[in-house]
Amino acid sequence: MKIGFIGLGNMGAPMAANLAAAGHDVTGFDLVAPCPNGVSMAASAAEAAAGREIVITMLPNGALLQSVAAEIIALMDKGAGFIDCSTVDVESARKVAAQATAAGLLAVDAPVSGGIGGASGGTLTFMAGGTEQSFAMAAPLFDIMGQKAVHCGPSGNGQAAKICNNMILGITMIGTCEAFALADKLGLDRGKMFDVVSTSSGYSWTMNAYCPAPGVGPTSPADNDYKPGFAADLMLKDLRLSQTAAEAVDAATPLGQHATDLYKSFVEDEDGSGRDFSAMLPRFEKLGRD
């Protein structure tokens, strides 16, 4: 297929490369990032989209998504597919989907989970919103770029699933880091802590698969000086999206709000920017009760 891919950052570049490696004709565009192997570089987003059977976007925020969509939708052929893999606010996702649908395109919002490693390895999970027909259009490409795709319902529901998932992730990571910091001060060996919790009711993905304690459990960013697999800056972005959505629908999310506040302090006022979101553990290690 002829595919346009707009947004070739840490996530978009390996996703586009995997599509090219699978035999698709991929043309990419990014304002700053280089093209990955197998992908042809376009001079603009418009050039990357014109005449393509499917256009995929992976962009940092809703405002940029809306700007790019306004530029490319009119250039795409009726019946083409528009797959947005960005993580943005639900309102932006639904607005862009409505514009694409009105232009005769098949629109899917499909944010991802799995991080840079999942993008490189083709093991991402896609949370997709859109019609059944739109999801069916996108599914073969999801199979190349990921290991699982879930159709979550109409447009915007992919974003809803992503921000709910990542709100849980942020809250759980904070709880895991707090527990390790408490265990340290109680004199409990971290390895023993992991052995108990990872097989008990405290089991969680943040403990068992992404342990924030170095040298404990499977290898994680904690074992690489907290160089980001999933940056604290991105966790803060997703938590803020969750609270914007919660406010819009009058949902009570006190733990989500508190997690947002903690990551805001960590990223903006402390040393969290550019570090993995699990680096909350050394943060809590330094703190006392007050």
pLDDT of residue 221: 95
Residue spans of beta strands (DSSP E) within 90-230: 106-109, 112-113, 124-129, 146-153
pLDDT of residue 117: 85
pLDDT of residue 85: 96
pLDDT of residue 116: 85
Beta bridge partners of 187: none
Angle (CA) 18 19 22, round 5°: 85
Check if the beta carbon of residue 194 is closer than 8 Å to that of residue 203.
no
Q: List the chain pLDDT tens, one digit each, 290 residues.
A: 999 999 999 899 999 999 999 999 999 999 998 889 899 999 999 999 999 999 999 999 999 999 999 999 999 999 999 999 999 999 999 999 999 999 999 999 999 988 888 999 999 999 999 999 999 999 999 999 999 999 999 999 999 999 999 999 999 999 999 999 999 999 999 999 999 999 999 999 999 999 999 999 999 999 999 999 889 999 999 999 999 999 999 999 999 999 999 999 999 999 999 999 999 999 999 988 87
2 is catalytic: no
For residue 175, give the nearest of 282, 259, 257, 287 by alpha carbon.
259
Neighbouring residues of 48: CB distance < 8 A, sequence distance ≥ 6 = 4, 5, 6, 27, 28, 29, 42, 55, 72
pLDDT of residue 287: 87
Residue with tokens 């306004």: 70
pLDDT of residue 110: 96
pLDDT of residue 171: 98
Q: What is the pTM of this model?
A: 0.89
pLDDT of residue 7: 95
Check if the beta carbon of residue 3 is closer than 8 Å to that of residue 25.
yes
pLDDT of residue 243: 96
pLDDT of residue 115: 83
Q: 95, 148, 162, 264: which is the annotated catalytic residue?
A: 162
